[in-house]
Amino acid sequence: MDQSHAGYIGNKEADILAKEAAEKENFPKTPLEFPKSFIKTFLLQKMLATWQMAWDDGDTGRLIHNIIPKVSLQPINWTRTEVLFFTGHGPFSSFLQRFNLAETSFCSCGGIGTPIHCATACLTTSYHMAPPSQQHQSVWFRSVANNSTSRRKIHNLLHFLQRETSLFRPDPN
């Protein structure tokens, strides 16, 4: 018996029980005996499932949700220009008008200045891509986001729009 336990009632019995328990096979070291890797994987899956539900049920970010419906820990690696295009927060008259930075949401060609309009129908013909039908816009955005040639066109289009802003504003007269 351990000398530090000498003289205390029940210590001898406690030592005997502890020794028996330690010698038993499959005695758990913790209340739940799971490998650390299992617990990490379980918590990661739970976190991703909770995040996915919040992403699916959210009120904001719906444009991006249509392009990236599944959450992931892998970064998307979009450039600033691509973020501006896919969110519609770029040099588009439809966006600028929402914040009173443009008098109207119309483009100088008469269409509403959305990202799709500028990339498919506006005066920017050298940057045009095939236009989607109304019901396939989310698929179109997803396709454009996953195509490096289309992303390069978007990059060039937005730089042109930012450089030549006055060309895309309706004549106030």
Render pLDDT for 77-109 as a digit per residue (tens, 0 to 9): 999 999 999 999 989 999 999 999 888 999 888
- At residue 163, does pLDDT exceed 70? yes
Q: Answer whether residue 37 is part of any domain.
A: no
Name the residue range of residue 149's domain.
Answer: 73-172
Q: Answer whether residue 14 is part of any domain.
A: no
Q: Count of domains in the chain?
A: 1
With tokens 């045009």, the residue in question is 128
- At residue 1, does pLDDT exceed 60? no
8 Å CB contact between 98 and 167: no
Residue 152: the pLDDT is 95
Q: Answer whether residue 90 is part of any domain.
A: yes
Task: Give the pLDDT band of residue 48 (cuts 50, 70, 90).
Answer: very high
**CA distance linking residue 5 with residue 126, whole number of Å:** 89
End-to-end alpha carbon distance in the chain: 102
Q: Answer whether residue 10 is part of any domain.
A: no
pTM for the full predicted model: 0.71
Q: Answer whether residue 22 is part of any domain.
A: no
Between 26 and 80, residue with greater pLDDT: 80
Q: Answer whether residue 52 is part of any domain.
A: no
The mean pLDDT of the chain is 85
